[in-house]
């Protein structure tokens, strides 16, 4: 029986896009998260007694030079070398643009495949590892033609950094289909590039392990590497947890609460579930929503900033949870009468917000504000054409709700 660990998209020293600049208590964890995730991969490889570690691209994040990163990487790989564990590594698009990958003297146990492709035998086994690296930052064409034929009467594992037929939010690199991969006759495809874990096939195995450490709420949930167990030529797989900081979207229902104390207690109780899902040393960054019907509906919306600070402090009291963003999806109790002048004004604002003339004016004003932003920030807010209209509608709705809450909260 032989075990092999498969990972990809480590993105060493990639900045986690959340609280790093706003929360000093969390800053160290944020900065070291990708390194800690990689160290956990090494820990798991040693604990499981694997014969090899496969890194299917994007070990690094970008073109920044870092002697500390180079020293960290060499030290972790030397831990595997001391245990007799081989490392097979293909370069992805981020590695190809990083100068360190060509300058660091990696330990002798590391086999780096080049852009021409090739294969290497795992010592003492009938297992062959095949791989092709990126030659540059982009690979717009398929790389499948660079793979040789599988070795007969052996277990053949192929490593490829690819978007397959396209992954949301990922550049379309080294495109190919699951059917094309399956037709080449390999027993296991160790993929990388798409950050979400997905097992595309089990005959043969075609596995995208996902990244080992999420970097923002778009990469939410616990992350992992994939452990292969090869027994008498048959392959089975399992997930191995890796992430040190987990991004989570979490909702707390405050329905039926009638006092602020009850809401605060509901928040404390509602934060138990995220903690129970973490390992003892892990932390989580939450995008939190308070929802439900409560008698304090308007007062909470009116005092949204106070409640944001309150909920943030309650989360931080756990020592493991941090609130990145708090939103409200609260409703007034169903029995509440909606006949006041304030209510009538609220209905009028909601009606105006749907009119074409108002929408056009809002769009113009939002465009004017956005034009003052740096191009990179503007691109983040407006990834496509529809995003501008959606942003304008959201800002108008949020503003109207906030103004309504101020008036309603003051009148009740």
Tens-digit pLDDT profile for residues 142-198:
889 999 999 999 999 999 999 887 655 555 677 899 999 999 999 999 999 998 999
Average pLDDT over residues 235-251: 93
Nearest CA-CA partner of 38 in 53, 16, 21:
53
Q: Helical H runs in 287-374?
A: 297-302, 304-316, 341-353, 356-370
Structure tokens at 106: 């990696």
Contact by Cβ (8 Å): 227, 5: yes
Structure tokens at 13: 């020293």
Cα three-residue angle 5-11-12, rounded to 5 degrees = 95
Helix or strand or coil: residue 285? strand
Q: Is 82 exposed, middle or buried (0-12, 13-18, 19+ CB in 10 A)?
A: exposed
Average pLDDT over residues 224-247: 95
Give the pLDDT score at 20: 47
How many Cα atoms within 13 Å fall on the side-chain side of residue 13?
Answer: 18
Q: Output DSSP code: residue 14.
A: P
Contact by Cβ (8 Å): 263, 256: no
- The predicted model scores a pTM of 0.77
Q: Which residues contact 161 (CB under 8 A, 6 or more apart)?
A: 8, 56, 57, 58, 90, 91, 92, 93, 133, 134, 139, 173, 174, 191, 192, 193
Structure tokens at 128: 């062959």
Domain 2-241 part of CATH 1.20.58.110: no
Q: Which residue's structure tokens are 């003892």?
A: 280
137: confidence class by pLDDT, cuts 50, 70, 90:
low
- Residue 226 above 60 pLDDT? yes
- Cα R_g (the chain), whole angstroms: 26
Going from N- to C-terminal start, the domains of the chain cover 2-241, 245-336, 339-412
Query: Residue 159 CB: number of other CB atoms within 10 A?
Result: 27
Structure tokens at 190: 């160790």
Give the pLDDT score at 24: 66
Higher pLDDT, 26 or 311: 311
Q: Which residue's structure tokens are 């999420």?
A: 214
Nearest CA-CA partner of 78 in 118, 45, 125:
45
Q: In what order do the strands lie in the sheet with 127-131?
A: 118-121, 127-131, 155-162, 188-193, 205-208, 198-202
Q: Is 393 exposed, middle or buried (0-12, 13-18, 19+ CB in 10 A)?
A: middle
Least confident of 52-66, 182-196, 288-302, 305-319: 52-66
For 150-195, the three-class secondary structure string (H helix, E strand, C coil) is CCCCCEEEEEEEECCCCCCCCCCCCCCCHHHHHHCCCCEEEEEECC
Helix or strand or coil: residue 252? strand
Give the integer Cα–Cα distance in Å for 269 and 266: 5
319: confidence class by pLDDT, cuts 50, 70, 90:
confident
Long-range CB contacts for residues 355-362, cutoff 8 Å, separation at least 24: 358/396, 359/389, 359/392, 359/393, 359/396, 362/392, 362/393, 362/395, 362/396
- Residue 264 above 80 pLDDT? yes
Higher pLDDT, 232 or 343: 232
Q: Is 90 exposed, middle or buried (0-12, 13-18, 19+ CB in 10 A)?
A: buried
Q: What is the mean pLDDT of the chain?
A: 84
Average pLDDT over residues 186-214: 95
Give the pLDDT score at 21: 45
Average pLDDT over residues 372-397: 70
Beta bridge partners of 110: 87
Residue 62 CA from chain centroid, whole number? 17
The pLDDT tens digits for 291-301 are 999 999 888 98
Contact by Cβ (8 Å): 242, 223: yes
Average pLDDT over residues 58-80: 83
Give the pLDDT score at 411: 54
């Amino acid at each position: 029986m032989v075990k092999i660990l498969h990972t990809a998209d480590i993105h060493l020293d990639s900045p986690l896009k959340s609280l790093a600049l706003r929360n000093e208590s969390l800053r160290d964890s944020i900065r070291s998260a990708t390194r800690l995730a990689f160290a956990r991969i090494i820990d798991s490889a040693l604990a499981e007694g694997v014969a090899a570690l496969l890194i299917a691209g994007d070990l690094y994040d970008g073109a920044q030079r870092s002697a500390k990163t180079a020293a960290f990487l060499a030290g972790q790989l030397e831990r595997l070398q001391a245990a007799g564990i081989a490392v097979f590594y293909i370069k992805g698009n981020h590695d190809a643009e990083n100068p360190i990958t060509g300058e660091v003297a990696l330990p002798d146990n590391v086999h780096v495949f080049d852009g021409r492709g090739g294969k290497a035998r795992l010592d003492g086994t009938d297992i062959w590892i095949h791989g092709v690296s990126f030659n540059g930052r982009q690979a717009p064409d398929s790389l499948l033609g660079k793979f040789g034929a599988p070795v007969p009467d052996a277990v053949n594992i192929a490593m490829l950094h690819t978007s397959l037929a396209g992954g949301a939010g990922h550049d379309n690199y080294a495109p190919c289909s699951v059917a094309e991969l399956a037709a080449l006759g390999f027993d296991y495809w160790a993929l990388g590039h798409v950050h979400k874990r997905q097992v595309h096939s089990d005959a043969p195995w075609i596995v995208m392990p996902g990244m080992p450490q999420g970097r923002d709420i778009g990469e939410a949930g616990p992350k992992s590497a994939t452990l292969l167990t090869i027994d008498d030529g048959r392959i089975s797989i399992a997930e191995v947890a890796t992430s040190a900081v987990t991004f989570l979207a979490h909702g707390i229902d405050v329905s039926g609460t009638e006092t602020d104390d009850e809401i605060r207690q509901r928040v404390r109780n509602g934060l138990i579930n995220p903690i129970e899902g973490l390992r003892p040393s892990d932390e989580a960054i939450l995008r939190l929503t308070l929802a439900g019907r409560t008698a304090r509906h308007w007062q909470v919306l009116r005092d949204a900033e106070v409640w944001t600070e309150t909920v943030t402090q309650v989360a931080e009291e756990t020592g493991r949870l941090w609130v990145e963003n708090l939103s409200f999806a609260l409703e007034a109790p169903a029995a509440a009468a909606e006949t006041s002048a304030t209510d009538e004004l609220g209905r009028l604002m909601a009606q105006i917000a749907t009119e074409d003339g108002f929408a056009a004016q809002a769009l113009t004003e939002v465009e004017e504000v956005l034009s003052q932003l740096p191009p990179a920030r503007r691109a983040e807010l407006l990834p496509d054409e529809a995003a501008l209209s959606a942003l304008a509608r959201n800002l108008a709705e949020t503003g109207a709700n906030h103004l309504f809450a101020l008036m309603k909260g003051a009148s009740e």
